[in-house]
Amino acid sequence: MGKVKVAAFSLSLDGFGAGLNQSLENPLGVRGPELFRWFFPTEAFQAMHGQPGGVRNRDNDFATRSFENVGAWILGRNMFSPLRGPWQDESWKGWWGDNPPYHTPVFILTHHPRPALVMEGGTTFHFVTDGLDSALAQAHQAAQEKDVRIGGGVSLIRQCLAAGYLDELHLAISPVLLGEGEPLLTGLNLPTLGYNSVELHPGDEATHVLIRKP
């Protein structure tokens, strides 16, 4: 069975993994895009969107590495949609257009059922209404011995950490002070949960920290 991991997750210096008030106009919350200044210029980001170019540096190395050996993703509903409550219809198909950058099965945690959504490029969105354990079981089966990547948001990653489900957490710490937002690690005792900081790598626009279980 592959690992369950978080990779290339951007975090501010003051510990926030997203801005407040996510909306259609602010998919990452207010000021959220500032966390990704290290990622947007990279070749890996450009390739995700079918564009040439982009910088090749240490940050790009980590961005590229984050997509390696991933067989399935799990996302919280807010990572897929700014909408809340029951699905009014099936017109919303994500933030990414017809060809999302996942290219694997993606399992979205939600309280409201919706049929699976087949997209271009190998991405199929599955909507899971019976909880995280079910999503993990389905994702492992779909991944076929590859890794399951937890894409966020903050609440989902906190659930995975608190339950001890994550094998590896890669944080890209951006030199940004948000002042407010969604805190990632507040109230979690990672050593007690079995996690250790095992690698530290300075990049050009972020510092990359890897946290793992022994």
pLDDT digits (tens, 9 = 90+) for 180-191: 999 999 999 999
Query: What's the token pair of residue 183?
Result: 């805190």
pLDDT of residue 145: 95
Tell whether the model's pLDDT for residue 49 goes beyond 90: no
Residue 90 Ramachandran class (φ > 0 left, ψ -120 to 50 alpha, else beta):
alpha
Beta strands 207-212; 168-174: pairing state: antiparallel
3-state helix, strand, coil in the chain (%, to 5): 20, 25, 50
Residue 206 Ramachandran class (φ > 0 left, ψ -120 to 50 alpha, else beta):
beta
What digits encode the pLDDT tens for the residues 113-170?
Answer: 999 999 999 999 999 999 999 999 999 999 999 999 999 999 999 999 999 999 999 9
What's the CATH class of domain 4-18+29-85+98-212? Answer: alpha beta
Query: Is the model's pTM score more than 0.85?
Result: yes
Q: What are phi and psi of 38, to 5 degrees?
A: -75, -30
Residue 21 DSSP label: S
Domain residue spans in the chain?
4-18+29-85+98-212
Distances in whole angstroms, Cα of residue 140 to Cα of each of 12, 51, 119, 130: 30, 31, 20, 16
- Cα–Cα distance measured from residue 184 to residue 154, given in angstroms and rounded to the nearest whole number: 6
